[in-house]
Structure 1
Amino acid sequence: MTKNQWIDAHCHLADERLEAQLDNVISEAEGLGIHFFMQGGVGPEDWQRQRDLAQRYPGKIGLCFGLHPYWVAAHDEDLCEIALDQLAPLLPHALGIGEMGLDFRPHIMKDSRERQIGVFEQQLELAEAVQKPMVLHLVQAHEEALRIMDIWGVPASKGIVHSFNGSWGKAQDFLKRGLYLSIGGPVVWDQNEKLHQVVKDMPLEFLLLESDSPDQPPPRFKQSLNQPASLWDVAGKIGEIRGMPASEILEISTENFKRLFHYDGN
């Protein structure tokens, strides 16, 4: 991968909401130097859409398969076990495992707390077994996630906390366990002072940039679906805070991604 071929460290281009405009979305991103798009996995239906996407856009899609807490919350234990059995043989063909983790917001969690914990623990085991970096989705579950990871151990291949949007104290909890922080659209909002503090103080060797497209748009995209092109907004805000050019922030994130996910651009 040469200079000015940057990476969106986390997005959902297989999301059906983007289907009608996907060629334009990817073309616009490439026009801005963003040429590789790491996906976030949701469940078996999404895994298939990701594989179709990789065939449609060869060399541009990073596959990532996992059982998202949303999916776990919406399916019973038997279906989760079936999906976990389907997940394991796919992982050798993926760059990472995830999204995986916990989401304890009441409207998501409902009766799924213990089921989410069980599936998270099994995916921690899988991550260790296949030596793939994790893509963690953790919402209102910081302490429980740390407790579980400290019991089971953070897999040697480490991973990212996707769309990190917490305090500096929470950031340090993940950083000291060797996990990267993936920062997206929320950092661009002027009122998000706690996240501004995080990107000001964190070591840049643990920084990744993501769009989470089509979700979590920065202000410029708030009236529409988010796009990987918004990575420039994220890089610009972090660069402003750190006193660095946006292009340098993008370059740092891309190099960090390549190191973490053992991705060589091919």
Structure 2
Amino acid sequence: MVGFGFWIDAHGHLADPRWEGQQDRIILEARAKGIHFFMQGGVGPEDWEKQRALKAKHPEHIGLCFGLHPYWVADHDEDQCEEALDLLATQLVEAEAIGEMGLDLRPHIMKDSRERQMTVFEQQIELAHISQKPMVLHLVQAHDEAIRILDLWGVPKQKGLVHSFNGSSAKAKDFIQRGLYLSVGGPVCRPDNQKLHQAVKEMPLEFLLIESDSPDQAPPAFKGQLNPPESIWEVARTIGELKSLDPLEILDITTENFRRLFGR
């Protein structure tokens, strides 16, 4: 049955300071358009606290995700990362997922953190194995390194998702072969993003999720403003065109995929 109207934004940051004071409104606006659950992406300890506060206000609609984002790792030294990892190990029981975790090797993000990012990524994979939580992966300009580390440590039993997948068909296959879901967001709506369009056309529907990455990565229809969760409608429309399916069917399928991944 198409269009049951209880859809899921697989990844966003409603605890982001840019949304401060507006979360109630944007959650209500998204719910009015059938989007009722919002899985968060973790950044660092301060963000985890903000997620908790948001969930306390919207307990049925917010999914907690705690992890050390590559941005956070790049901005903190080895001792600070070790301290945060110890804290994560004690607090992860509260969360539904571990992440964002991974690698961002763009020079302006990475700075001197390449080896530190890899070490923290490996330690978070170990925590995913121990906690049996799905991983939320942030991987930018680091495909080969990420695949090597995932193969070395093994993808945990609970698998996970590659957030904001924006790669080629070959890269999509690498992740899918390892049991990972691909979460696609606003970049797919750009008419010139032919590489991602082709990857979406070829990827199996059972591994597809959709996300807003709110407040970032707005589709062209939301250009120039903070990206709200309701923008996943634009993502569903574009993917529907690429897959020759109704957008409602894309929303239904990706919501069921999310429930399968997270056991909801």
Verify same fold: TM over 0.5: yes
Please name the residue that 1:225 is paired with.
226
Please name the residue that 1:69 is paired with.
70
Matches within 5 A, 1:128-207: 128-207=129-208
Q: Percent identity?
A: 68
User: Post-superposition shift, 1:221?
Assistant: 0.8
Deviations 1:174-221 (A, max 9, x none): 111110000000000111011111111110000000000000000011
State the one-letter code of the partner of 1:215. D
State the one-letter code of the partner of 1:70. Y
User: Post-superposition shift, 1:89?
Assistant: 1.7
Matches within 5 A, 1:1-266: 3-263=4-264
Paired residue total: 262
SS in 1 for 2:48: helix
User: Post-superposition shift, 1:21?
Assistant: 2.1
User: Post-superposition shift, 1:12?
Assistant: 0.1
State the one-letter code of the partner of 2:28. S
State the one-letter code of the partner of 2:79. D
Deviations 1:129-161 (A, max 9, x none): 011100000001100000111111111111000
Query: For the aligned residues, what is the CA RMSD?
Result: 0.9
| Counterpart Cα distance in 2 of 1:129 and 1:58 | 26
| Counterpart Cα distance in 1 of 2:47 and 2:200 | 31
| Counterpart Cα distance in 2 of 1:22 and 1:118 | 34
| Counterpart Cα distance in 2 of 1:82 and 1:241 | 45
User: Post-superposition shift, 1:36?
Assistant: 0.4
State the one-letter code of the partner of 1:151. L
| Counterpart Cα distance in 1 of 2:20 and 2:114 | 32
User: Post-superposition shift, 1:20?
Assistant: 2.9
Structure 1 unmatched runs, 5+: none
SS in 2 for 1:119: helix
State the one-letter code of the partner of 2:80. L
| Counterpart Cα distance in 1 of 2:29 and 2:232 | 12
User: Post-superposition shift, 1:56?
Assistant: 1.2
| Counterpart Cα distance in 2 of 1:45 and 1:117 | 22
State the one-letter code of the partner of 1:192. N
User: Post-superposition shift, 1:3?
Assistant: 2.3
Moved more, 248-257 or 87-96: 87-96
State the one-letter code of the partner of 2:108. H
Runs (4+) of structure 1 exceeding 3 A deviation are none
Normalising by the residue count of structure 2, what TM-score does the alignment of the two structures yield? 0.98
| Counterpart Cα distance in 2 of 1:227 and 1:51 | 20
